[in-house]
Amino acid sequence: MKELLKGQQRSHSIGLMENILESENQRASPSRSLWKGKIEQQVTLEQLQKLHAAFQELEINGLKYLDIENFKHTVKKCMGSHNANEDQIETLFMKIDYSASGKIQWHDFCTYMHLEYTGQDESSARLKGTTFSLPATIQDIPHGDPVLRICSLSNSTLITAREDGTISFWSPQLKQKRSKMVFEKTQKKSKWLMDFAIMTPYNKLILATGDRELQLFEISNFEPYLQISGLEAIPLNLDYCCTDPDECMILYGDDQGCVNILLLRSVGELLRTWKKLPKMEHLPNISLAHAALSSNVTYIRWKVHGDWVAQLNYYDSIKAIISASSHEPTALVIGCIVGATNIEQRMKEIKEHRKDSKARKGQASLGTPSSRAEGDQIVFRVHKGVKTFAFSKKNNLIVTGGMDRIIRMWNPYMPGRPTGMLRSHMTPVFYVYISEEDNKIFSMSTDNTVKIWDIQDQNCLFTACSKNNGLKGEISACHYISSTRSLCVATDTLAVLHLRLCSPLDPNLVISHKEPVLCCKYNKVFRHVVSCSEGSVIKVWDFESGKNLFEFGNAHHGGSAITCLTFDPSGRRLITGGRDGCLKIWNYNNGQCLHTLKREDKCEEICDCAYVEVNRNKYIIGVGWDRKINMFYDSTDNFHHLQKPQAHWQDDISHGHKEDILCIAQCPPTLLATSSYDGEIIVWNMISGHICHKFHTPILPSSVNTKTFQAVDGSVTQVLFLKTRAVKFESAASSLISNGPEGYIYFWSLFSENPLVTRFTPSREKSLISSIAVTADDSYLYAADEDGYVYVYDIKEYALQDIEPSAPKYVKHWRAHLNLVLSLEIIDEDNILLSCSADRTVRLWNLVGEYIGTFGQAEPWEIFTPASWKHPMVPYEILLDPQSMPNHPVLGGESFGTQITDKEEKTQEAENPSPRLSQVIDDMKEEINKQFSTQAPSRRLKHERSKLLNGLVSHGRPNTYHSINYYEIDNFLGNCEKPDLSVLGTDIFSAHYQGAAET
């Protein structure tokens, strides 16, 4: 209960904001107000606690289970009748009661709610999907001292520094440009580098050494420039900031917990002056005490922490220094540069004699460090201190990490309590970074685990451990390069993790999934559409509005593609099959996997599945690459998560399919049909397990390539019963439909001597038919091909008795998708067609091809309000695709209809052009036919011809493809002959078309 309340609190706060935004949008859009949200997303913490108390009270009174009426009464009592819609409560009860037992417990309610909110978090993470490309790009570096720090220049060049003073420059691809050890080795002792910073305007490197020195080197040639010696303590961390033209600030934190600040003015002149000073160890040298006497130098030293400084940075956006240490009471401090106490001291110095002021200034500066006034700093107390931090002015956020493995999020002006705590790292946090452009937090721990967090939801979006990212050894430095959006890590090697960036989609392009959609199905109980993708993601959509209600990923092992799905008769459980060889049963409303069905010996791909009932026993059937019919007994009393199939039918073992089974269809109460890769179709009696019929899809001799003697693909991927005919056992009418090679659709009879009644090709281009569906009364056939077209035929009186010599009556066709259509389903009660495709979209159409919308689009639709549909528009990508261009009858010959709209919908102007324009059309036709007369009639050339002649458009009614104005040509007396281009040596038009044909 505690965990549920905790998780629900966070998710509810997010959902509340979404509900507020949604309510505002509903006022702006009438169609939005018709969609009702889920009641489980409206439950507050107080109401949840009341529900828990109500369940406990009923259990004490002897009512351990609640039926639907008691559940309605309890929810209304706890939430208020004005907040609880009875239909919504009933729907929620059915979602919880996935087994259709008619009763639920508090445990069932909690499990559903917990999984629902967990799924929403995972869904949010997928939508925001930010990941690093794995494994990392790794570059070996010479064995030696560890890399202390990594910095980057404006051109993305990387600079690394090792403890022994070796400075190296690297390209963004980790190709070493140059390297040098800047410290000269002496017999007395060796220097140790503590940190470095870049003086970009002056092309200098500042190095902090263990000998209490700041040394400056030229970036271009690593030549030593000068050094500032005699620091008060060992500098551990360096930072540099250019505050004004020719003014800068050098900051360093030391081992005594002090923050040291050098304010330099007239920097160019000052450095040139110091360059002329006497040398010490081959470097012009000036002590800090003498440097502080200069009028262009101000030295400030603050005692800030009780332990050495772990990190410090100056942020010009807030004019403050942020420093961190492992000392708990002063783990993180935001402080000013100068401070009130120093200002008072300077005012006193101004009043005194000029000659003595410099001496006093030096003494005050180099004496005991001062402490900031209470109002000059903000102190954060953090358990076990702070190892690393990051600040974002845009997000008003500080992120800290340290030994306790917790990443804390702070408001910079509220040190008392963090605004968020991110727990997931298993070892101390080594590095954090806030990416303002991505609104993400990147973190890395000492076990080389990299994580990405969402700032808004405070969720972990991505995790890559050492095994996955390829990082080995102890981490010593880390740096995020914003220009290339990559994370550079130094261990025993140098590695770069590149942020995986999705190419920005066209704003007009709508997709339902990020991967190809392999199957989808309508659930009439909840009026949902469920779609599954190649990326193992299951999405649940609201049929009436198109909104995404829920989704969950990694549904099958290893992210295997989901190839098929079906529902149980109650509509409350989803069955999916995948390439991992498993069938899974889900409560799909919250992503709970109830059972896994698989064979013990094999895990070969499942191609199709079905839910059947035989002699009051319920089974789930899966078929696929194992070439067997696997039946799994379905019982709500079975509490085993893993289930094995029943024994195979004897006919299946001895006379079954010899190739992979690709499809399954059932015709209650007894018939089952399966089809395989070799074109074989078998009709089974489910009660006896015997084979009733075997059909072999014929392949024409013309289908064989005479050069290679290889036959075309003869697989049958779709079979479908015409159930109104199949139940009439005495009828000789065709009662089974299948697809086949060369784009044919086959009609088979189950009760006649000649099983193949007829066949025809719906597609003019003879594209392979990928999906078929029929209306409930078997009157209309819908067939979709691999080019995304949907064809409609009237088959009510077709193939009833004798062999049909011709195709059925054509009704219309349109292009529904840009690519292979993998599923068609007719929703008869609403006269809607559901389709999905490898082009990553799931769409709705009415039965005459009017475009309703694509699931995933920003604007919802109202299924009962045609004004909210996309029609007369068409999907954007289809509109732009050359293959969608309409064929004009004068060029393409007889046409089944236009690609987007029906033939009868053409305007009278297009069908009967004016006499003056008819002559122009004839001339165009004659000229183009001359150019194409010697070319093969390829698909591409046909569309080129269509483009040229389909310039004829209606002047009155807008047309989808109308992109340029068309004007009639005035009468011209006299003959206009084609110009003689022989003087040019060639006919440029003929050359153009010949070249196009050759390519």
* Each residue's pLDDT tens digit, 590-620: 888 999 998 887 788 999 999 999 888 999 9
Q: Please tell me the predicted confidence (pLDDT) of residue 763.
A: 85
518-698 under CATH 3.40.50.300, yes or no: no
For the ranges 22-26, 72-76, 525-529, the maximum mean pLDDT occurs at: 525-529
The residue assigned the tokens 């001062």 is: 370
Which of 318-322, 466-470, 787-791, 937-941 is predicted least confidently? 937-941
Query: What share of the chain in percent tops pLDDT 90?
Result: 52
For residue 652, give every residue at least 6 positions away whose Cβ sits within 8 Å of its Cβ, in sequence order, or none. 628, 629, 689
Residue 886: what pLDDT?
64
| Radius of gyration of the chain, Cα coordinates, nearest whole angstrom | 38
Q: Residues 322-339: what's their mean pLDDT?
A: 93
Q: How confident is the model at residue 231 (pLDDT cuts 50, 70, 90)?
A: very high
User: Does pLDDT of 351 surpass 80?
Assistant: no
For residue 42, the 8-state DSSP code is S
Cβ contact 95:589 at 8 Å: yes
Among 563, 589, 595, CA closest to 576? 563
Residue in 234, 238, 263, 3 with CA at minimum distance from that of residue 113 = 3
State the architecture of 2-130 in CATH terms.
Answer: Orthogonal Bundle (1.10)
46 or 781: which leads in pLDDT = 781
Q: Which pLDDT score is estimated for 30?
A: 34
- Residue 97's pLDDT is 85
Quick one: average pLDDT of 562-578? 94
- Has residue 956 got a pLDDT over 70? no
**Nearest in space to 408 (alpha carbons), one of 416, 436, 14, 7:** 416
Which residues are paired to 159 by β-bridges? Answer: 151, 169
- Tell me: pLDDT of 926 over 70: no
What are 664's strand-pairing partners? 674
Residue 957 has pLDDT above 50, yes or no: no
Q: Are strands 642-643 and 592-597 parallel, antiparallel or unpaired?
A: parallel
pLDDT greater than 90 at residue 121: no
Per-residue pLDDT band for 111 (boundaries 50, 70, 90) equals confident
Among 75-84, 130-139, 624-633, which range has the highest average pLDDT? Answer: 624-633
Q: Rounded to the nearest 5°, which phi and psi values hold at 141? A: -125, 155
SS3 of 267-324: the string is: HHHHHHHHHCCCEECCEEEEEHHHHCCCCCEEEEEEECCCCCEEEEEEECCCCEEEEE
Question: Does 439 have pLDDT greater than 70?
Answer: yes
In this prediction, residue 152 carries a pLDDT of 92
Predicted confidence at residue 710, as pLDDT, reads: 56
Nearest residue to 676 (alpha-carbon basis) of 690, 649, 656, 650: 656
State residue 475's pLDDT score.
Answer: 95
Q: What average pLDDT score do residues 188-209 get?
A: 89
CATH superfamily of 308-334+372-464: YVTN repeat-like/Quinoprotein amine dehydrogenase (2.130.10.10)
pLDDT of amino acid 944 = 32
Ranges of beta strands (E only) in 114-257 are 131-132, 137-140, 147-152, 158-162, 166-170, 176-181, 193-199, 204-209, 213-218, 224-229, 235-244, 247-254
Average pLDDT over residues 927-947: 35
Q: What was the pLDDT predicted at 243?
A: 87
Residue 51 near residue 59 (C-beta atoms within 8 A):
no
Least confident of 398-412, 466-480, 558-572, 940-954: 940-954
Confidence at 397, pLDDT banded by 50, 70, 90 = very high
Q: Which amino acid is at 177?
A: K
* pTM, two decimal places: 0.65
pLDDT of residue 367: 62
Read off the tokens for 990: 């003929």
Of 110-124, 608-622, 758-772, least confident by mean pLDDT is 110-124
- pLDDT above 90 for 635: no
pLDDT averaged over every residue in the chain:
81
Token pair for 389: 């931090």
Instruction: Determine which of 303-307, 501-505, 597-601, 760-764 has the lowest per-residue pLDDT on average.
Output: 501-505
How far, in Å, CA of 52 to CA of 73, rounded?
14
The region of weakest confidence among 165-169, 484-488, 788-792, 942-946 is: 942-946
pLDDT confidence of residue 126:
59
Q: What does DSSP say about strands 332-335 and 320-325: parallel, antiparallel, or unpaired?
A: antiparallel
Q: Taking each helix axis from N to C terminus, what angle separates 939-949 and 915-932, rounded to the nearest 10 degrees?
A: 160
Which string of b and e fits 454-489 if b means at least 16 CB within 10 Å? bbebbbbbbebeeeebbbeeebbbbbbbeebbbbbb
C-alpha span between 256 and 374 (Å, rounded): 20
The pLDDT of residue 980: 57
Higher pLDDT: 83 or 909? It is: 83
What is the C-alpha to C-alpha distance for residues 492 and 162, in angstroms, rounded to an integer? Answer: 12
Decide: 253 and 236 in contact? Cβ < 8 Å. Answer: yes
pLDDT, mean of residues 81-91: 76
Which of the four pLDDT bands, split at 50, 70 and 90, describes residue 785?
A: very high
Residue 945 has pLDDT above 70, yes or no: no
Fold of 718-884: Methylamine Dehydrogenase; Chain H (2.130.10)
Distances (CA, A) of 516 to 124, 547, 549, 819, 822: 20, 19, 20, 10, 10
Q: Please report, for the chain, the start and end positions of each structural domain, with discontinuous segments joined by +.
A: 2-130, 182-256+258-303+337-369, 308-334+372-464, 518-698, 718-884, 907-998
The CA-based angle 102-105-109, given to 5 degrees, is 100
Residue 400's pLDDT is what?
A: 96
Q: Which residue has the higher pLDDT, 917 or 327?
A: 327
Q: Give the whole-number percent of the chain exceeding pLDDT 70.
A: 78
- What confidence category does residue 705 fall into, taking pLDDT thresholds of 50, 70 and 90? low
Most confident of 475-479, 915-919, 957-961, 962-966: 475-479
Average of pLDDT values for 560-588?
94
Structure-derived torsion over alpha carbons of residues 635, 638, 642, 644, reported in degrees to the nearest 10? -60
| 2-130 and 518-698: identical CATH topology | no
